[in-house]
């Protein structure tokens, strides 16, 4: 069933979104090669109150989890909870890829500042990548 409320993405955007998510499935938290990852799109109709930010309507998931989302299905509330808990950096990168700029004076409504602080100082310097595992 075609859904015109889904975000349209170019293959280049899809690739960048997977990289922004550090190639980790947002449902099972495993690391996958790009070709095993899919962009799951959530219809705007299910997401009315957050429609301005397109990054809240996509999920990066592996092939298997993507089937689960559609076949079980994974409830929309759970999908949204996962998206809400996305790290500040991934959210920021995804917004950039999707061309969404939040208004500069807008107070962050769903970002926990102490979490950002911990995440920032927990990271290794000089852009090193995550320890594999
Ligand atoms: Zn998965
Ligand atoms: Zn999907």
Tell me the domain boundaries of the chain: 11-122
Q: Does residue 130 surpass a pLDDT of 60?
A: no
Q: Which of 15-29, 41-55, 103-117 has the lowest mean pLDDT?
A: 103-117
Cα-to-centroid distance, 133 and ligand 1 (Å): 15
Predicted pLDDT of residue 132 = 45
Predicted pLDDT of residue 109 = 59
Cα-to-centroid distance, 58 and ligand 1 (Å): 14
Q: Does residue 41 surpass a pLDDT of 80?
A: yes
Which residues line ion ligand 2, judged by CB < 5 Å? 40
- Do residues 26 and 64 lie in contact, with contact meaning Cβ atoms separated by under 8 Å? no
Cα-to-centroid distance, 18 and ligand 1 (Å): 13
Q: Quick one: which ligand is closest to 26's CA?
A: 1
List own/partner pairs for 59-62 with CB under 8 A and 24 or more apart.
59/26, 59/27, 59/83, 60/17, 60/18, 60/20, 60/21, 60/24, 60/25, 60/26, 61/25, 61/26, 61/27, 61/28, 61/37, 62/25, 62/27, 62/28, 62/30, 62/32, 62/36, 62/37, 62/38
For residue 77, give the H/E element and its range.
helix 76-84
Q: Quick one: which ligand is closest to 67's CA?
A: 2
Q: How many CB atoms lie within 10 A of CB 91?
A: 21
Q: Does residue 21 surpass a pLDDT of 90?
A: yes
Q: Does residue 36 surpass a pLDDT of 70?
A: yes
Q: Which of 67-81, 85-99, 102-116 has the lowest mean pLDDT?
A: 102-116
Q: Which residues pair with 40 in a beta bridge?
A: 59
Report the alpha-carbon distance of residue 66 to residue 62 in Å, rounded: 6
3-class state of residue 112 by DSSP: coil
């Amino acid at each position: 069933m075609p859904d015109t409320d889904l975000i349209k993405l170019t293959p280049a955007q899809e690739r960048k979104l997977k990289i922004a998510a550090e190639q980790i499935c947002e449902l099972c938290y495993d690391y996958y090669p790009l070709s095993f990852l899919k962009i799951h799109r959530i219809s705007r109709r299910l997401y009315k109150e957050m429609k301005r930010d397109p990054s809240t309507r996509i999920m990066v998931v592996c092939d298997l989890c993507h089937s689960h989302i559609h076949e079980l299905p994974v409830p929309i509330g759970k999908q949204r909870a996962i998206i809400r808990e996305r790290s500040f950096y991934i959210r920021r990168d995804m917004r950039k890829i999707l061309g969404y700029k939040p208004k500069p004076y807008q107070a962050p409504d769903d970002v926990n500042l102490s979490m950002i602080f911990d995440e920032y100082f927990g990271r290794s310097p000089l852009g090193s990548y995550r320890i594999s595992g």
